[in-house]
Chains A and B, each alone.
Chain A
Amino acid sequence: MRFGGSHGFKGSVFPHDNDSALLLDVHRRGVPGREQMRRFPDEEEVDLLVVGCGAGGAVLAQRLARAGWRIVVLDRGPFWDPDEDWVSDEEGSHHLYWTDKRIVGGDDPVELGKNNSGHGVGGSMIHYAGYTPRFHPSDFETRTRDSVGADWPISYWELKSHYERVERELPVAGQHWPWGDPHSYPHGPHPISGAAERAWAGARAHGVEMRVGPVAIANGVFGNRPHCVYRGFCLQGCKVNAKASPLVTHVPDAIEHGVEIRADSMAVQIELDQASGRVAGVTYIEVETGRERFQRAAAVAVCGYSIESPRLLLHSTSKRYPHGLANTHDQVGRYVMVQGAPQVAGRFPELLRMYKAPPPEVSSEQFYETDEARGFARGFSIQTISPLPIGWAEHVLADGHRGTALREYMRDYNHWTVLGSLCELLPLPDNRVTLADEHDQFGMPVARFDYTQCENDRANIAFAKKTMHAIWETAGAQDVLTIDRYAHLVGGCRMGADAETSVIDSDHRVWEIPNLFACDGSVMPTQGSANPALTIMALASRLAERLTAKRVQTSRSLGSRTNRMTQDAAGI
């Protein structure tokens, strides 16, 4: 199927090289063409085996499939059909989250599951809010600038063109963005709810600048993706196909270009060929039958996010790598980060009904960069958040209310509006994923994630809360309620300049192993105060460009591919 021209409909800028939005069906939400999807036998050595079909894996597969690579993507969860599988209901969306057992420890344990862990084709972007800010240029060199965290082996400027490209594909809607590297978005800002309007007015009065967006929700029809209906259930999976996730932005085009997506397949071990020192494929288990299978591959990309990617590497032991692949220097699973995400709610006389419209609406990056006067390094962003009733109940409970008081604040739901912060917490070596003694239903050790904040982290979170309280005070809020929580996950297989302090190089290649890559949120050395989804996609886009332009070799595989192509060309 081919679609001419670079423009879709009504003047919206349409991506040149991704037809996903046109391949979707206007009348159904599920991805068409799954029945005709190309299938590869296990014995066939595919060019690339991707583990995890989320923001990293799906983009990588889509890009490389267009360059002619033969690709299989494994995902532990189902291949979602929004019409059949999803509901407009908080509690009914439990199956969207990774709910296999994990152990959380440390002094400040991090809640996983619905908070930050996706499950199934599309990954965590199925249930993310939709905020898609870029990182700031400073995020890539916090060690040099602020003497904290780490410098990336690449700069913002190496990612910039990929940010732009992905923003067109999602597409991202929002006002012109004045912070970081100032830029505009392909789609204009969405209308906002009463709750966001109130919050914005409060911030403005307090001298805090906010902007509408950036959100990955098409503003207007985008290909065959309909307009948002502002129903407010972004965190429960978009039944409309208006909110971007890899399921609608990259998977359709990937399938069209011959990618096989093998859902319900749990990767348990990356197999090493002892003789060559290269990986030979992945052992995985069919979730429904429990059958163990092995897919051969010329190269493997681990894209399972910050808990599962380290877990898979740590579990892939061999005589040569008894502590897991890429773990010679004990780096796998370290420097896992979450963002401090305290929320402060303000109460107003009018009915604000915060359940209406998407929860991500207006945001500010005014406090993003280090300000020495604040007494800590790095900063935070502020965004509107609009919890649905269960989320609101958790907020009220966290402020210390139960029984009659809890019910009273709950009845007051429609008078409240909520600001949330994303505080940049620093990468620390002991905040790490390890393997616990317990095993899951696949016989694989479950992951344990320990997390403890440092002083800079605590100071940052406290300052962010103080700022949000001050905004509500200026705005004349009649009451405030506060909850401390975390958001997002990154790190665990970070990229760096040497094998002693990182897991992968700047081309996402695992140190020591020429045909093993990691490409997901786990690769980030720092996290900024930005939601990570867009950056994960941009990194995958960059890696794909380098692989297709042969600036990165997967050695033998590329050699054999080249030979094959030469043979094809010669008519052999």
Chain B
Amino acid sequence: MARDFRQPDHLPKVRGDEGADPGELPRQRRGKTPQMYGRYPDYDCLEQAEHWDELTCKLVVDRVERVPELRFFGDDEAATLTIFCDVVLAQNAEPRIPVLAFVDQKLAEGRLDGYQYADMPDDCETWRLVARGLDESARTHGAESYAAALIDRQQEIMDAFAEGELSGGVWEQLDCKHAWSVVMRSVLAAFYSHPWAWNEIGFGGPAYPRGYARLGIGLSEAWEGAEAVDVNPGVDVKERGLE
């Protein structure tokens, strides 16, 4: 089914559920997006890299080409947290943005955010405790570990974490809501600093030194991605008898 994105009927609050099935979105035709769907199928921000200043260009391109090795998390922690990051970001298929690798890098380098809740350990310790806590919660549901649990169970535990409802065991050492905010801060920063995510949402990316000239409602620079509207290529091809 094709969608008109001028209308809000794909949005979670408007529909009262999680939002429209992203599987109905157009497949990405240029560059990559996480899971290869998106709203801007012919837009690849990395094609603009030659217009970015050198420092920014290196930083952004490295996120794609030089994924850091895990240094901070152990294997068990990594197994649990990789799945958690994918669940919380609905990354259910390749290609996936390797979120945990970027979180790991930040923690290994001690690049913390400059504040720690009085009722919490520091961010490094919080991440380790969350990994243990997720596994413990999975075990109370009969799974061997968070990673080994069924996807529905993983989602339930993630939801309970977000709502501050996990307790017992390791969770007693953490304020659940604060732990959620510590963890999500890094997860979102890692995911939405990745150019594949920018392709998915149609973000222009770095714009220095070029800048922007067409600022008004509905206006785009020539190189900015056009939003897919109305046309589902699968249906379209069939309807036009091009198959």
In the complex, chain B residues 210-233 whose Cβ is within 8 Å of any chain A Cβ: 210-213, 215-220, 224, 227
- Contact at B207–A232, with CB atoms within 8 Å? yes
* A113 touching B18 in the complex, CB below 8 Å, given contacts A240-B208, A408-B10, A411-B38: no
In the complex, chain B residues 73-127 whose Cβ is within 8 Å of any chain A Cβ: 87-90, 111-119, 122
Q: Which of B7, B13, B193, B211 contacts A91 (CB 8 A)?
A: B193
- Contact at A405–B118, with CB atoms within 8 Å? no
Q: How many angstroms between the C-alpha atoms of A268 and B8 in the bound complex?
A: 55
CB distance from A228 to the nearest CB of B (A): 8
- Contact at B188–A114, with CB atoms within 8 Å? no
Q: Which of A92, A101, A198 contacts B56 (CB 8 A)?
A: A92
Residues of A within 8 A of B8 (CB): 347, 478-479
Q: Does B201 contact A (CB under 8 A)?
A: yes
Residues of B within 8 A of A191 (CB): 215
Q: How many angstroms between the C-alpha atoms of A198 and B59 in the bound complex?
A: 33
Q: How many angstroms between the C-alpha atoms of A352 and B190 in the bound complex?
A: 25
- Contact at A229–B215, with CB atoms within 8 Å? no
Q: Which of A88, A99, A102, A357 contacts B53 (CB 8 A)?
A: A88
Residues of B within 8 A of A117 (CB): 114
Residues of B within 8 A of A357 (CB): 212, 215
- Contact at A100–B114, with CB atoms within 8 Å? yes
- Contact at B204–A356, with CB atoms within 8 Å? yes
A-B pairs with beta carbons under 8 A, tally: 221
- Contact at B14–A92, with CB atoms within 8 Å? no
Q: How many angstroms between the C-alpha atoms of A229 and B204 in the bound complex?
A: 14
- Contact at A407–B53, with CB atoms within 8 Å? no
Q: Does A355 contact B (CB under 8 A)?
A: yes
In the complex, which of the residues A88, A113, A192, A412 has the most CB atoms of chain B within 10 Å of its own CB atom?
A: A88
Residues of A within 8 A of B115 (CB): 101-104, 111-113
Question: Closest chain B residue to A100 by CB distance?
Answer: B114
- Contact at A409–B114, with CB atoms within 8 Å? no
- Contact at B201–A411, with CB atoms within 8 Å? yes
Q: Does B66 contact A (CB under 8 A)?
A: no
Question: Chain B contact residues (Cβ within 8 angstroms of A): what range?
Answer: 35 or more
Question: Closest chain A residue to B207 by CB distance?
Answer: A231
In the complex, chain B residues 51-75 whose Cβ is within 8 Å of any chain A Cβ: 52-53, 55-56, 59-60
- Contact at A403–B212, with CB atoms within 8 Å? no
Q: Does A89 contact B (CB under 8 A)?
A: yes
Q: How many angstroms between the C-alpha atoms of A239 and B59 in the bound complex?
A: 15
Q: Does A415 contact B (CB under 8 A)?
A: yes
Residues of A within 8 A of B198 (CB): 389
Q: Does A353 contact B (CB under 8 A)?
A: yes
Question: Closest chain B residue to A450 by CB distance?
Answer: B118
Q: How many angstroms between the C-alpha atoms of A231 and B210 in the bound complex?
A: 8
Q: Which of A101, A347, A352, A388 contacts B112 (CB 8 A)?
A: A101
Residues of A within 8 A of B131 (CB): none
- Contact at B206–A230, with CB atoms within 8 Å? no
Residues of B within 8 A of A393 (CB): 188, 191-192
Residues of B within 8 A of A394 (CB): 185, 188
In the complex, chain A residues 94-121 whose Cβ is within 8 Å of any chain B Cβ: 94, 97-105, 109, 111-114, 117
- Contact at B10–A406, with CB atoms within 8 Å? no
Question: Closest chain B residue to A240 by CB distance?
Answer: B208
Residues of B within 8 A of A411 (CB): 22, 25, 38-39, 200-202
In the complex, chain A residues 157-197 whose Cβ is within 8 Å of any chain B Cβ: 191-194, 197
Q: How many angstroms between the C-alpha atoms of A352 and B116 in the bound complex?
A: 36
- Contact at A403–B87, with CB atoms within 8 Å? yes
Q: How many angstroms between the C-alpha atoms of A400 and B184 in the bound complex?
A: 12
Q: Does B158 contact A (CB under 8 A)?
A: yes
In the complex, which of the residues A98, A411, A478 has the most CB atoms of chain B within 10 Å of its own CB atom?
A: A411
Q: How many angstroms between the C-alpha atoms of A448 and B87 in the bound complex?
A: 35
- Contact at B111–A94, with CB atoms within 8 Å? yes
Q: Does A404 contact B (CB under 8 A)?
A: yes
* A351 touching B218 in the complex, CB below 8 Å, given contacts A89-B56, A448-B118: yes
In the complex, which of the residues A231, A347, A388 has the most CB atoms of chain B within 10 Å of its own CB atom?
A: A231
CB distance from A241 to the nearest CB of B (A): 12
CB distance from B102 to the nearest CB of A (A): 8
Q: How many angstroms between the C-alpha atoms of A350 and B219 in the bound complex?
A: 9
Q: Which of B116, B119, B193 contacts A390 (CB 8 A)?
A: B193
Q: Does A467 contact B (CB under 8 A)?
A: no
Q: How many angstroms between the C-alpha atoms of A357 and B53 in the bound complex?
A: 18
Q: Does A87 contact B (CB under 8 A)?
A: yes
Residues of B within 8 A of A389 (CB): 192-193, 197-198, 201, 203
CB distance from A323 to the nearest CB of B (A): 22
Q: Does B170 contact A (CB under 8 A)?
A: no
Instruction: Count A interface residues, CB 8 Å.
Output: 75
Q: Does B19 contact A (CB under 8 A)?
A: yes
- Contact at B188–A232, with CB atoms within 8 Å? no
CB distance from A243 to the nearest CB of B (A): 12
Would you give the 0/1 interface string for B5-20, flagging 1 where the beta carbon is closer than 8 Å to chain A? 1111011111000111
- Contact at B19–A405, with CB atoms within 8 Å? yes
Q: Does A349 contact B (CB under 8 A)?
A: yes
- Contact at A403–B203, with CB atoms within 8 Å? no
- Contact at B204–A409, with CB atoms within 8 Å? no
- Contact at B208–A353, with CB atoms within 8 Å? no
Q: Does B162 contact A (CB under 8 A)?
A: yes
Q: How many angstroms between the C-alpha atoms of A411 and B117 in the bound complex?
A: 32
Residues of B within 8 A of A347 (CB): 8, 11
- Contact at B14–A401, with CB atoms within 8 Å? no
Q: Does B209 contact A (CB under 8 A)?
A: yes
Q: How many angstroms between the C-alpha atoms of A353 and B205 in the bound complex?
A: 12
Q: How many angstroms between the C-alpha atoms of A239 and B52 in the bound complex?
A: 12
- Contact at B216–A194, with CB atoms within 8 Å? yes
- Contact at A408–B20, with CB atoms within 8 Å? yes
Residues of A within 8 A of B89 (CB): 403, 406-407
Residues of B within 8 A of A405 (CB): 12, 18-19
Q: Does B167 contact A (CB under 8 A)?
A: no
- Contact at A356–B208, with CB atoms within 8 Å? no
Q: How many angstroms between the C-alpha atoms of A325 and B84 in the bound complex?
A: 49
- Contact at B88–A192, with CB atoms within 8 Å? no
Q: How many angstroms between the C-alpha atoms of A356 and B216 in the bound complex?
A: 9
* A112 touching B218 in the complex, CB below 8 Å, given contacts A229-B211, A406-B89, A411-B201: no
- Contact at A229–B210, with CB atoms within 8 Å? yes
Q: Which of A91, A240, A350, A406 contacts B218 (CB 8 A)?
A: A350
Q: Which of A101, A228, A407 contacts B22 (CB 8 A)?
A: A407
CB distance from B56 to the nearest CB of A (A): 4
Q: How many angstroms between the C-alpha atoms of A94 and B203 in the bound complex?
A: 20
Q: Does B237 contact A (CB under 8 A)?
A: no
Residues of A within 8 A of B209 (CB): 229, 239-240
- Contact at B197–A113, with CB atoms within 8 Å? no
Q: List 16 A-B contacts (CB under 8 A).
A: A89-B59, A99-B111, A101-B114, A102-B116, A104-B118, A113-B114, A229-B210, A230-B212, A239-B208, A352-B217, A402-B159, A404-B18, A405-B19, A406-B90, A410-B200, A411-B22
Q: Which 9 A-B pairs have the closest CB atoms?
A: A229-B211, A113-B114, A408-B19, A105-B118, A88-B206, A91-B193, A478-B8, A194-B217, A349-B6
Q: A residues within 8 Å of B by Cβ? A: 84, 86-92, 94, 97-105, 109, 111-114, 117, 191-194, 197-198, 228-233, 239-240, 347, 349-353, 355-357, 388-390, 392-394, 397, 400-415, 448, 450, 478-479, 481
**Besides A401-B12, A402-B159, 11 other A-B contacts (C-beta < 8 A):** A88-B53, A191-B215, A232-B207, A240-B209, A347-B8, A357-B212, A389-B197, A394-B188, A403-B89, A412-B11, A413-B202
